[in-house]
Amino acid sequence: MDPATALPCDPADLKAGATPTLLDLAPAEWGRHPLLAEEPPFRARQVREWVFGAGVTDPLRMTNLPEGLRRRLADDGAVTPLAIEREHLSADGARKFLFRTRDEHGVETVLIPAGDRRTLCVSSQVGCAMGCLFCASGLAGFTRNLTAGEMVAQVVMANGAASPAGRVNRVVMMGMGEPLLNYANLLSAMRLFTAEEGCGLGARRITVSTVGIPARIRDLADAGLGVHLALSLHAPTAALREKIIPPARRVPLDELMEAIRYYFEKSGREVLIEYILLAGVNDSEDEAQALARLVKRYRATVNLIPANPVVGLPYRPPAGDAIARFQREVRRRGIRCTVRRRRGDDVSAACGQLAGG
């Protein structure tokens, strides 16, 4: 599917009666927007260059457009379906954005700088239906899917907030929501992430994180986008996983892991196994050994994530050197195992802390 002509959102996901913004449309369709339809065709190209090239979504700053057009675009809110309501800067350099949708929902996104990497943690839904015990995103339940335009807007607007040398160069679909439960919009968004006339990111710089929807994992493999996949496993056995992630009781663990095998065989991309460490829940030596036995059958790397505190939830990371001991047990059995560095926890921007405001 050509990303220039693929509609990046399902019109049914737009608020009833709402006019699509430019980011709700495929780039090739921008010239048909009501405010650009009567303009020379090159005006739509100029606007695209401002939006995707410079991260500028305020039409009043698009200085090569006629003043009247700039004002009409601004007055109509025609460029982006999101507005930045607040920004929080962490002491470690991570930046959390609270975006407001046109129907007044809050969505959080985190920009994480590290050397020459600027990774954006993008949300795919308002809220989340998964109900993972340790995560703030699902505390208020699920509200709705984000459109592809709303996902792309997170990248574009984060670029606008960054310096010219600090544009987003990696996207991880690890924010609020379960991306594979918003599959059609996710695919459209990723096509614009990678398109030259869109965000221009390489597929190898995009990661989709999922709690595990086997059929959709296989669909994503078959789509041939070449993006990375991360599985939020969090437990080495079905019984324990069902306690941590309640919907897991509907997905046999063997079926899920075979979908992971299929993804690797189809895409050639080694899967990342995410494992949040919850003190007294899933951090024992026995569980480390069981995790290694499970993962050893697949081409995967384990990434340990010490739990981050969430107001109203009792879970904490293991104390002392328990994380290092767990890692050693996994590594001793020949599994590559890393520990995710905590970023942005002082502004509730770390893994599991995004709640939409």
Work out the number of other CB atoms within 10 angstroms of the CB of residue 87: 12
Amino acid at 286: D
Active site residue 197: no
Whether 351 is a known active-site residue: answer: yes
Instruction: Say which CATH class 82-347 falls into.
Output: alpha beta
Q: Choose the catalytic residue: 128, 199, 337, 351.
A: 351
- The b-or-e profile of 151-165 (16+ CB within 10 A means b, else e) is bbbbbbbbbbebeee
For 69-119, the pLDDT digits (tens) are 999 999 999 999 999 999 999 999 999 999 999 999 999 999 999 999 999
Using alpha carbons, select from 196, 169, 171 the residue that is nearest to residue 186. Answer: 171
Residue type for 308, please? N
Q: Judge residue 131's burial from the number of C-beta atoms within 10 Å of its C-beta, 0-12 exposed, 13-18 middle, 19 or more buried.
A: middle
CATH architecture, domain 20-76: Orthogonal Bundle (1.10)
DSSP 3-state of 166: helix
Give the angle subtended at the CA of 247 by the CAs of 245 and 250, to the nearest 5°: 130
What 3-state class would DSSP assign to 142? Answer: strand
Active-site residue (options: 9, 29, 108, 337): 108
Query: What is the DSSP annotation of 14-62?
Result: SPTTPPPPGGGS-GGGGGGSTTTTTS-HHHHHHHHIIIIIH----GGG-
Helical (H) or strand (E) element with 273: strand 271-277
Q: Half-sphere exposure of residue 69, counting CA atoms within 13 Å on the CB side?
A: 18
Which amino acid appears at position 247 of this protein?
Answer: P
> Do the first three CATH levels of 20-76 and 82-347 match, i.e. the same topology?
no
Cα–Cα nearest to 4, from 138, 196, 233, 207: 196
> Encoding tokens for residue 30?
């921008």
pLDDT tens string, the chain, 357 residues long: the values are: 444 444 444 444 445 446 789 999 988 899 999 999 999 999 999 999 999 999 999 999 999 999 999 999 999 999 999 999 999 999 999 999 999 999 999 999 999 999 999 999 999 999 999 999 999 999 989 999 999 999 999 999 999 986 654 799 999 999 999 999 999 999 999 999 999 989 999 999 999 999 999 999 999 999 999 999 999 999 999 999 999 999 999 999 999 999 999 999 999 999 999 999 999 999 999 999 999 999 999 989 999 999 999 988 999 999 989 999 999 999 999 999 999 999 999 999 999 999 987
* Nearest to 176, CA basis, from 134, 136, 219: 136
Q: Where are the beta strands (DSSP E) in 94-155?
A: 95-101, 106-114, 117-121, 125-127, 142-145
- Cβ pair 187, 225 in contact under 8 A: yes
Residue spans of the domains in the chain: they are 20-76, 82-347
